[in-house]
């Protein structure tokens, strides 16, 4: 089992991120190379990569994940937004490879009214511009909740993208528990069945990253609002409608073993090491 959380590169880049992950007793972690809301990034030389990798080795942390910023939209009908997304992901892949991370997670995009079929075609077009046969990093297509015109809320969307891109071996899937629950998949009562369906549609070997989050919504609401694991009505951030029992089952499931499982739960404003507590709960 590999459990970790999102951590910050603020300060000394990768070294700061590793130190934060260690404070949570994490086995893995996920970073944004800069703020997820913009494209401003430090130079690779200023990211303390060597120091970070050395500290990872010292504590037995084998790998970590990079998450691409939210502002990218490969499905956008706007040419400038589309090209910005393509150009920036290409740069992020270079940064991810320089840091030694095996995966970069991305939100595939929203069609903004142009329709799902056209939006999916745009995603394929953009990925074909970015992906090269020689890149080592895999792009993990994050399964989404389906809010608004958001795509990849169905397993079939990922299967379509992988079937159409030139280098499908460079793609994998990131399974977000909040998103898939909100999209309508019954991960609470029938995670085995969800995994069987995933295997039929995409192939279980394509599932390589998990985001482990509770949900503030009942199944199928398509809203994407993360909750703390097992939180009840008295929690200041709201109730978790997925629950500890279901999430614990998922991280211990054979489909998740050996794969990075990353917490993106809200940080409650209290004096506690929240991610450390949630990792203990799940273990």
Q: Is 179 marked as binding a ligand?
A: yes
Q: Is 253 marked as binding a ligand?
A: no
CA distance 283 to 264: 16
Q: What's the pLDDT band for 212 if we cut at 50, 70, 90? A: very high
CA distance 22 to 276: 9
Q: Which whole number is the average pLDDT over 22-48?
A: 90
pLDDT value at 271 more than 80: no
pLDDT value at position 270?
Answer: 58
Q: Which whole number is the average pLDDT over 187-201?
A: 98
141 - beta bridge partners?
Answer: 106, 173
pTM of the model: 0.96
Domains and CATH numbers, the chain: 3-176+190-212+245-260 (3.20.20.150)
Q: Is 169 marked as binding a ligand?
A: no
Q: Is 6 marked as binding a ligand?
A: no
Write out the two tokens for 157.
């969307």
Q: Is 224 marked as binding a ligand?
A: yes
pLDDT value at 9 more than 70: yes
Query: Are 147 and 222 within 8 A, CB to CB?
Result: yes
Q: Is 181 marked as binding a ligand?
A: no
Q: Is 211 marked as binding a ligand?
A: yes
């Amino acid at each position: 089992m590999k459990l970790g959380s999102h951590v910050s590169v603020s300060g000394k880049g990768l070294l700061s991120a590793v130190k934060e992950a260690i404070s949570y007793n994490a086995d893995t972690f996920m970073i944004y190379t800069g703020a997820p809301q913009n494209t401003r990034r430090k130079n690779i030389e200023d990211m303390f990569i060597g120091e970070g990798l050395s500290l990872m080795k010292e504590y037995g942390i084998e790998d970590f994940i990079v998450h691409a910023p939210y502002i990218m939209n490969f499905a956008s009908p706007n040419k400038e937004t589309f090209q910005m997304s393509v150009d920036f992901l290409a740069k992020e892949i270079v940064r991810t490879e320089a840091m030694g991370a095996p995966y970069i997670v991305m939100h595939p995009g929203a069609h903004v009214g142009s329709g799902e079929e056209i939006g999916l075609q745009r995603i394929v077009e953009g990925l074909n511009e970015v992906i090269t046969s020689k890149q080592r990093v895999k792009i993990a297509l994050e399964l989404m909740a389906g809010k608004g015109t958001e795509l990849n809320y169905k397993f079939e969307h990922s299967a379509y993208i992988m079937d159409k891109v030139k280098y499908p071996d460079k793609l994998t899937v990131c399974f977000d528990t909040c998103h898939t629950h909100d999209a309508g998949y019954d991960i609470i009562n029938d995670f085995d069945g969800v995994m069987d369906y995933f295997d039929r549609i995409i192939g279980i070997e394509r599932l390589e990253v998990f985001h482990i989050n509770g949900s503030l919504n009942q199944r199928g609401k398509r809203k994407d609002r993360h909750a703390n694991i097992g939180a009840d009505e008295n929690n200041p951030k709201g109730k978790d409608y997925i629950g500890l029992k279901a999430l614990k089952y998922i991280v211990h499931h054979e489909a998740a073993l050996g794969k990075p499982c990353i917490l993106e739960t809200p940080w409650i404003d209290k004096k506690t090491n929240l991610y450390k507590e949630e990792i203990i709960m799940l273990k």
